[in-house]
Structure 1
Amino acid sequence: MINVPDDPIGRLPDAWRFCVGTGRFELALRRDYQDSLALVQKDIGFRYIRGHGLLSDGVGVYRPHEYGVRYAFTYVDQVVDAYLGLGIRPFVELGFMPYDLASGDQTVFWWQGNVTPPRSWTGWAELVKATVAHLVDRYGLDEVRQWPIEVWNEPNLAPFWQDADRDAYHRLYEVTAHAVKEVDAELLVGGPALSPGAGDWMARFADFVEDRQVPINFVSCHAYSSGPAQHVPFGTHQTLAPATKLLDQFAEPRATLAGTALAGLPVHITEFNSSYRPDNPIHDTAFHAAYLAPVLAGGGDHVDSFSYWTFSDMFEEVGIPTALFHGGFGLLTHRQLKKPTYHLYAFMARLGGEALARGDDHLVTRHPDGRLAVLAWAPVDVEGTAVGPGDGHRVRLSVPLAGAADAFVARAHVGEDAGNAYAVWCAMGRPLSPRTREIEVLREAAEPVRRYERLPVADGRVTLDLALGRHEVTLVEVSAVVDETPPWWSDSHLLGRGDE
């Protein structure tokens, strides 16, 4: 039994909900994308959203002609208007290179984002200034000053930046940062958006920025915990390191930058997940929710934000998905089916601001009105050979609840046998294109199991004895019972027979 103290140990950081990832920019023009984002915002409420391709040809910003260049913001305006209407702001990523401004033909992804330096650095600077100035003009300076502006994506990897040329990226960052600051000195610009394991890149970037006195307001990098890809038709399997590996990666930038001019800057993990592949079935499982639970509970100790990659399976880096469940990054599938990890985030959104206790399998919080909210999870085994049913886990807590004789306890959980549409889809025979009735069944199966009870309060405390199934994540909400039952009420009257 864990005795949870009355006094808080601190505030619960909301770094987990600061930002969420998305597929390429123009996907936001689709109705199903906006419907999915609206659902996510209702249940979770992220503050920012980040994705690739703002300046790629699919968005059509850079439009050269024989008399010069026109910057067209038709799609940009529609997408940003939709974001703001849903209560979420853009975390702006500047990339990739418009084909007509690119110095080469190298592209990345099925949708062919160009990843070569500009053939004209002046042309690139003018494109950046025009884009940022347009955002300021349309949405107001006070608003856009709140939007982080990140320069490129994973330039330390050759697929994302030609030859992973460090010097060329440093020049890109310098030109871009100055262009942003020419629009307004208080706009937030940062980078270098590095993939995991790039400590040397980060250190040399810090030296470059300091030596050249280049503007920088935040540092960004990414975190993933999967091993080499083992490809199968239309999918990928990978080993996973323990979830603590993600927390180690979160902590790495501050350790690397200690003693440099960048020490003390906000650190944003602008992408994180278990696997870096958008076709790894682990993303769809109950295992995944339990795996990431300690990361969401503890990640705010290390960074200012960590952005889940991504909110939806509407994501086409390796092509259009071939099945409803295909291992996509999303918290939601196409057609808005909620995955277990979606519910992990929705449970986090219902926690209180005061943290009372945190352990390897639980997080206890309190709301301002005294209600308690407990997140508990069954630790996972990354060395296991299956993600199916197995031994359960028990969490026993004594939690404080002052001024009540009884407590109302509401519990919602997901796991191998609850809130797990993927498992039901597998039981159906993995239909590639489920029919309407099958979609309805999957939608029902995707919801958490909920149950309710009334427990006694003894000496201002409530005992919660939580038996968790394998890979279960559970939310328990505890509130004081204010009993308004009439004094004349008796259950024996229900059949109209009176007291007997």
Structure 2
Amino acid sequence: MIRVPAESPGPFPDAWRYCVGTGRLDLALRRDYQDSLALVRREIGFGHLRGHGLFSDGMGIHRPYTHRGARHVHHSFTHLDQVVDACLAAGIRPFLELGFMPSALAGGDDTVFWWRGNITPPRDTAEWTALVRATLTHLVGRYGAEEVRTWPVEVWNEPDLPQFWRDADEDAYHRLYEATAHAVKEVDAAIPVGGPALSPGARGWLERFAEFAERRDVPVDFVSRHAYTSGPAQHVPFGVHQTLAPAGRLLDQFAQPRRALAGTRLAGAPVHITEFNSSYRPDNPVHDTAFHAAYLAPVVVAGGDHADSFAYWTFCDVFEETGIPTAPFHGGFGLLTHRQIRKPVYHLYAFLARMGPDLLTRGDDHLVTRHRDGRVTVLAWAPVDPTGTSPVPARHPLRLSVPLGARGRGEAFVRRLGVDEEHGNAYAAWRRMGSPRSPSPHQLDVLHEAAEPARSHRRLPVTGGRVDLPLTLARHEVAFVELTRVSDETPPWWDERRLLGRDPG
């Protein structure tokens, strides 16, 4: 029996909800994307959205032309306005990642992804900073300075990897960052700018970034990095398999920036983990499973101890880094598949969104919070084995003594929702129906139905102001439980025994 304290030691951090990731930004022009964004905003409530490709050719912002023998640059914001309008209409703000390089400004032809994001430095730094200034000036003019000041601006993506920044040239990145940060501040000194958006494998980059920023007196309002726990890709057609480290390794990565920056000028800077997931691949089937939700539950619950935000990568499977997906379940990063089929990890976040603001306790397999109206909410999860080598028990027992209002007797209404291998698991249903690549309308209806969590409710006695709450979690289950004091308003003449008109005598 775990006795839950009656008094809260403080709030439950909502760093998990500050930001979420997305594919390249021009995907926001699609209806499926916008429908998915509206759903996650409504049911989960993410505050910001970060994605690649703001300056890539698909957004069409940088438009050089020749007139009367001279080269000029026109900045066009047609797609940018539609993307930002779609975000704000859904109630979510941009977290602006400045990249990749427009091809007409690029210093080379090196690209990344199926959609060919250019990863080279600008061949003309002045033209690059003019692009940055023009874009932010436009955004401030259209949406207002007070609004845009709430949009963090991140310079580039994983420059420590040659896949994302040519030759992983650290000095070249520092030059890009310095020019870009000053350009941002020239538009409005209150717009937050930061970086360097490092990969999990970066060694020494953050410390040297801090030294560079201090030596050159460069603005850095926040620092950012990414976190993943998967091993090398084992390729199969249209997918990969990978080993996974224990989920606690993600928390170690979340904590790394503050450790690295202790004693530097950036020691007190906010830390944003602008991408995290288990696998770094958008075609790993583990993302679609019930295992994945239980694997990430302790990370999402405890991540706020180590970072100011940590953005799940990504909110939906409208995402094309390795090409157009070949099936609704293809191992995509998303909380949602195409057509808004909820994955088990979606429900982990949706359950968190129903938790109360006041923390009561948390442990290796549970979180307990309280709402201001007295409701107590529990998030519980079954432990997992990421190696797959040891048998996972079919049942995981958990028993909590939950405080529920003033001392005394009474009853509690207990509501429970859960996802596991058999419930809230559309991936399992899809596999059983033969893994259709293009599900029919009826099959889509069945998959949406299969994605619904299991639901149950009951009453439990309240004794001495407490409820003895026994929970038995199935394999890879994540459960949400809500307890509310019953105020019984049943009329005195009501008798269930008389429902069929019989006199009970």
Amino acid at match of 2:80: V
Q: Per-residue displacement from partner, 1:54-104 (whole Å, max 9, x unpaired)?
A: 000000000011141110000000110111111100000000000000010
Instruction: Specify the alignment match of 1:50 in structure 2.
Output: 50
Aligned: 1:434 with 2:439: yes
Which residue identity is paired with 1:50? R
Pairwise mapping of residues 227-266 of structure 1 onto structure 2 (< 5 A)?
227-266=231-270
Q: Distance in 2 between matches of 1:457 and 1:402?
A: 10
Match of 1:340?
A: 344
**Given the alignment, which residue of 151, 159, 174 partners 1:170?**
174
C-alpha separation in 1, matches of 2:189 and 2:327: 47
Match of 1:22 in 2: 22
2:384 to 364, 380, 383: 380
Following superposition, the deviation at residue 390 of structure 1 comes to 5.0
Query: AA paired with 2:65?
Result: H
- Alignment correspondent of 2:64: 64
1:453 to 446, 449, 458: 458
1:307 aligns with 2:318: no
Superposed counterparts of 1:316-355, under 5 Å = 316-355=320-359
Are the equivalent residues in 2 in contact too, given 1:199–1:253 (CA < 8 A)? no
- Is it true that 1:224 corresponds to 2:228 in the alignment? yes
Distance 2:450 2:497 in 1: 37
Residue-by-residue CA offset, 1:342-397 (whole Å, 9 max, x unaligned): 0000000000011111000000000011100100000100121599x852201110
Q: 2:157 aligns with which of 153, 157, 167?
A: 153
TM-score of the superposed pair, with normalisation by structure 1 = 0.99
Secondary structure of residue in 1 paired with 2:204: helix
Runs of 5+ consecutive residues of structure 2 not aligned to the other structure: none
1:409 lines up with 2:414 in the alignment = yes
Letter in 2 for 1:396: R
Equivalence for 1:89: 93
Question: Which residue pairs with 2:217 in the alignment?
Answer: 213
What's the offset of the Cα at 1:463? 1.0
**C-alpha distance in 2, partners of 1:425/1:213?**
55
Q: Does 1:190 align with 2:223?
A: no
Q: Render the CA deviation track for 1:436-473: whole Å, top value 9, x for unaligned.
A: 11111111000100000011101100011100011000
Query: Partner amino acid for 2:58?
Result: G
| d(CA) in 1 for partners of 2:282, 2:365 | 28
1:31 is the counterpart of 2:5: no
Deviation for aligned residue 1:106: 0.3
What SS is found at the alignment partner of 1:66? Answer: strand
Structure 1 position 10, deviation (Å): 1.8
Q: CA deviation at 1:119?
A: 0.4
Structure-2 separation of matches of 1:87 and 1:325: 28
Show CA shifts across 1:285-344 (max 9, x none). 000000000001100000000000000000000000011100000000001100000000
Give the SS at the match of 1:384.
coil
Partner letter of residue 395 of structure 1? L
Equivalent residue number for residue 3 of structure 2: 3
2:479 to 468, 474, 478: 474
Match of 1:284 in 2: 288
SS at match of 1:454: strand
The separation in 1 between residues aligned to 2:60 and 2:393, in whole angstroms, is: 52
Q: Are residues 1:356 and 2:360 paired?
A: yes
Which 4+ runs in 1 deviate beyond 6 A?
A: none
2:396 match: 393
Q: CA deviation at 1:431?
A: 1.3
State the AA in 2 paired with 1:2. I
Q: Out of 62-71 and 357-366, give the one that drifted further.
A: 62-71
The alignment's C-alpha RMSD in Å is 1.1
Match of 1:41 in 2: 41
Question: Residues 285 and 472 of structure 1: is their aligned pair in 2 closer, same or farther, counting only changes over 3 Å?
Answer: same
Give the deviation of 1:29 after TM superposition: 0.3
